[in-house]
Structure 1
Amino acid sequence: MSTTGREHIRWFRNTAPYINAHRGKTFVLMLSGEAAQHPNFANIIHDIALLNSLGVRLVLVHGDRPQIDERLERAGLERRFHAGMRITDSEAMPLVTDAAGSLRAQIEALLSMGLPNSPMQGSSIRVCSGNFVTARPIGVLDGIDFHHTGRVRRVDVAGIREQLAAGSIVLLSPLGYSPTGEIFNLALEDIAVHCAAAIGADKLLLFGAAEGLESDSGELLRQIAVGQMPDLQFANDEQTRLADTARRACLAGVERCQVISYQDDCAMLEELFTHDGSGTLVATDDYEQSRWASIDDVGGILELIEPLEQQGILLKRSRELLETEISHFRLLERDGRILACAALYPYPEDGCGELACIVSHPDYRGGHRGARLLRGLEQEARQQGLERVFVLTTQTAHWFIEQGFKESGRDELPAQKQNLYNLQRNSKVFFKTL
């Protein structure tokens, strides 16, 4: 087998944990009308078919803004908006329903493909669409009559879950229906958030033009906690809209929202089946969880610290020693993988504590993880009534100085620590007052 072939096999093997994790889960996918117009849309459909074959339950919510705009222009009608929402009068409404129906039929056709020698071969996907969304009119807002523009009133949770349980992909268009038989034009984002929250979706995947959410300086933000949102400025209006949609969904109970590109082939598969993903994760709290270590973490910590022990940066710890000291360690982990660790050894009789073994995985340095663990352990030291913390280091003095530590003499160390001081390593001593 060729080297390239083996690389593909290894990649496929590494996806096994994600395949197992996603099987039986419910994902809501929000695809705009712009995404449906992009040449990569057919590839996204192929990837949706793959998710379906892997046992993921899928609800696909599509938009139709550019398709509506095209029809209005051909008809010589003005596009009218207020407060970011389209005003859908009686003249525009038939064009809205035509755009939604046409795009829905196009997506259903793509999901029905089964051509030999194509990614869809043998997929045999059932697509279900219908009156799953009950709507109400917006009415008059700021003196403006929105006519047939509405908001989501209720989602048919039982109906959607029944179709998902039967293995169908549920396709929702940006239309809602009232008990009186009226049709309302709804915002794509409104349907996506309400549906994901109502059915208890495990993920909401949002497709945008960019790689993910980008700051106003152009930096890709790989992960964002909802609490950070008010302090962030995004690159453009589309990004702001996607970020707000993710925030609303998280606050409504969806644990994870992921923003990915509809322009990049394989972006969705990379996001879902690789450790680092491709876009931006938005979660109700930090994606990388901080927790105290347990005896089951000894192997992972040893794997993390051994390279630095070999370089002489850290003092070597045996497995037996680490097992006895494991309760002093705090970890950062993502999807069960330990990315960073640090330890606090208190000396309460001396009113101080030692911070030790502050290590980040080499693939994840530069993300301020060491500083995050350091702050957490400093807070823990305060709660234990300690007044100072200290470190012994041979090669990372500048980093600790940046964190507010000041160099001190060995005679300031607790007597117990002075007796254990390794003269051969000749570590420098730094203290920080809490």
Structure 2
Amino acid sequence: MKSNDWLHGFRHSSPYINAHRGRTVVLSIGGDALAHDNLINIIHDLTLLSSLGVRLVITFGARAQIQQRLDEAGLASSFHRGLRVTPEAHLPQVLQAIGGLRTYLESQLSLGLVNSPMHNARIRVSSGNFVTAKPVGVLDGVDYGHTGRVRRIDVAGIESLLELGHIVLVPPQGYSPTGDVFNLSYEDVGSQVAAALQAEKLIIFTRHQGVLDENGALIRELSAGQASDRLAAARASGDDADLLRAACEACVKGVQRAHIISYAADGALLEELFTRDGSGTLVSGDTYEQIRPAGVEDIGGIVELIRPLEEAGVLVRRSREMLETEIERFVVAERDGTVVGCAALYDYPDEQAGELSCFAVDANYRRAGRGDELLAMIERLARSQGIQRLFVLTTQTEHWFRERGFQPSTVQALPGPKLAAYNAQRNSKVFVKPLC
């Protein structure tokens, strides 16, 4: 490693730091992660996030620890439909296990040794009765006892502590108005808390690198719809299915992004949040808005979107016939069935270059990040095709592209076919962004 590699990485992390400051991130950590040797590194990373102004809520599980307590007490466990049955006789062991982990997490977040990442951190950790729960009841003749489900989240209570700069700790237990306490699934708690807070992100820790395909390879990104399809086709099972289901449900309920990452890999949390490619699997919501490849059914919407820009001279005119023949080059931003943005990628494989073209966003959505999302989609497509530099020709949006990493270039830097077709009368400026 070069001696100044850290400097380059630190400087280039600033856009991600700015993007996360003041945002709410919910983390869901299972009992197996809490028992892993890498937990101390996760704690250090949480300290860093807190110092950067990220509002943190930690939900945690205790399955392994509960099982250990029950085994030591000579009590037999039973499960039904993937949920632990919690008779009243088991409740003391359950609560002791959860309470012990809560105290352990608080102690780890209170570390302040000199020459450690925790020195002078002074993190305040708060917990409480934020989860109102209800009993699962009786299913298939099985009485679940004190096993429950989330009924309601005290959003105001959590928000008030986040405003004070506290890290909020939410254990896998809830309370009923009758004073009963219930053992909850930590995946359900994490998903419900993230949705209730409308968190920016839900981070879920797993023993794997992320969601793996049938060949054991990491799946980098899934939409909520694709995640649901995997669950329906039983391509995920056991704990992995529970985690993927929690991520999917959070996104469907309004959480923008859910990330499934490894608890065993040092720095996985920071890599996922502060680098372009991340470390695990990203699950994104797609219920009413999505960036996707265009189809012939989108041509009418694209025509309506780009016509005013063509008339104003911002975009080169394209006929409907041209759009029909080139529609596979386009991606669109769709909101509630309406095309609100579009962009096209033209590749020049001999020169490993690509052109970003016909880039347009509805005026009502230009301040909501649609342009950045379209650009990110085009860049991902370009990289997947082996394109090493992306160029754009523009007459009126120079600064927007320069703010996103495009650098001024010359007409002579264009690929041969594009240079031959260059319209000197438009006098478009050329900007290039390296992708490697």
- Same-fold call, TM cutoff 0.5: yes
Report the counterpart of residue 266 of structure 1 in structure 2: 267
| 3-state secondary structure, aligned to 1:340 | helix
The equivalent residue for 1:401 is: none
Shift of 1:4: 2.4
Residue identity opposite 1:340 in structure 2? I
Kindly tell me: are residues 296 and 201 of structure 1, through their superposed partners in 2, closer, same or farther at Cα, counting changes over 3 Å?
Answer: farther
Residue 134 of structure 1, CA deviation: 1.0
State the AA in 2 paired with 1:7. Answer: D
One-letter amino acid matched to 1:152 = V
Residue-by-residue CA offset, 1:299-329 (whole Å, 9 max, x unaligned): xxxxx999949x56789x9xxxx9xxx5478
- The offset of 1:365, in angstroms, is 2.9
Q: Relative to structure 1, is the Cα distance of residues 15 and 190 closer, same or farther in structure 2, using a 3 angstrom cutoff?
A: same
Q: Kindly indicate whether the alpha-carbon contact (under 8 Å) linking 1:288 and 1:333 is maintained by their aligned counterparts in 2.
A: no
Name the aligned partner's letter for residue 63 of structure 1: G
Name the amino acid aligned to 2:197. Answer: I
Structure 1 counterpart of 2:2: 4
Which one of the candidate residues 357, 371, 378 is aligned to 1:340?
378
Cα distance in 2 for partners of 1:130, 1:78 equals 30
Cα shift readout 1:258-281 (whole Å, capped 9, x = no counterpart): 000001000000000000000000
Shift of 1:147: 1.1
Which residue number corresponds to residue 220 of structure 1? 218
On the 8 A contact 1:289/1:333 being kept in 2, the answer is no
Q: Give the secondary structure class of the aligned counterpart of 2:58.
A: strand
Aligned AA (2:146): H
- Alignment pair present for 1:77 and 2:115: no
Cα displacement (A) at 1:229: 2.5
Shift of 1:84: 0.9
The 8 Å contact of residues 43 and 265 in structure 1, kept in 2 or not, is answered as yes
Give the corresponding residue for 1:136: 134
2:31 corresponds to which residue? 33
Asked if structure 2 preserves the Cα contact closer than 8 Å seen for 1:223 and 1:287, the reply is no
Q: Deviations over 1:310-365 (max 9, x none)?
A: x56789x9xxxx9xxx54789x9865755638xxxxxxxxxxxxxxxxx953x433
Determine the C-alpha separation between the residues in 1 that align with 2:252 and 2:348: 41
Q: TM-score, normalising length from structure 2?
A: 0.70
Aligned-pair CA distance for 1:128:
0.2
CA distance in 1, matches of 2:157, 2:211: 33
Residue number among 376, 385, 388 corresponding to 1:365 in the alignment: 385
Change (3 A) 1:337 1:189: same
1:209 to 195, 207, 210: 207
Deviation at 1:34, TM superposition (A): 0.5
Quote the offset at 1:144 in angstroms: 1.1
The aligned counterpart of 2:157 is 159
SS in 2 for 1:4: coil
Cα separation, partners in 2 of 1:208 and 1:313, compared to 1, 3 Å:
closer
What's the RMSD between the two structures over aligned residues?
3.6
Question: 2:329 aligns to what?
Answer: none
**Map of 2:244 onto structure 1:** 243
Unaligned runs of 5+ in 1: 299-303, 342-358, 368-393, 396-419, 421-434
Matching residue's letter, 1:275: R
Shift of 1:98: 0.1
Alignment of 1:294-373 (within 5 A): 308=348, 311=350, 327=358, 337-338=375-376, 340=378, 360-361=381-382, 363-365=383-385
Identical amino acids, percent of aligned pairs: 45
What's the secondary structure of 1:220's corresponding residue? Answer: coil
Q: SS of the residue aligned with 1:253?
A: coil
Q: Is the 8 A contact 1:287 1:334 kept in 2?
A: no
Distance 1:150 1:75, change over 3 A: same
Matched residue pairs, number? Answer: 339
Deviation at 1:199, TM superposition (A): 1.1
Shift of 1:237: 1.7
1:231/1:104 CA distance change after superposition, 3 Å: same
Structure 2 residue aligned with 1:174, among 172, 190, 193? 172
Q: Give the counterpart letter for 1:141 in structure 2.
A: L
1:101-154 superposed Cα distances (whole Å, 9 cap, x missing partner): 000000000000111111111111000001111111122221111111111111
CA deviations on 1:396-424 (whole Å, 9 max, x unpaired) are xxxxxxxxxxxxxxxxxxxxxxxx8xxxx
Q: 1-side partners of 2:35 and 2:290: how far apart?
A: 33
**2-structure distance, mates of 1:312, 1:287:** 31
Give the unaligned 5+ runs of structure 2: 295-301, 317-343, 362-369, 388-414, 422-436
Tell me if structure 2 keeps the 8 A contact 1:216–1:236: no
The 8 Å contact of residues 315 and 358 in structure 2, kept in 1 or not, is answered as no
Q: 1:119 aligned to 2:129?
A: no
2:63 is matched with: 65
Task: Return the alpha-carbon distance in structure 1 between the equivalents of residues 353 and 386 of structure 2.
Answer: 19
Aligned partner of 2:285 in structure 1 is 284
Q: Would the alpha carbon gap of residues 297 and 213 (structure 1) be closer, same or farther in structure 2, given more than 3 Å must change?
A: farther
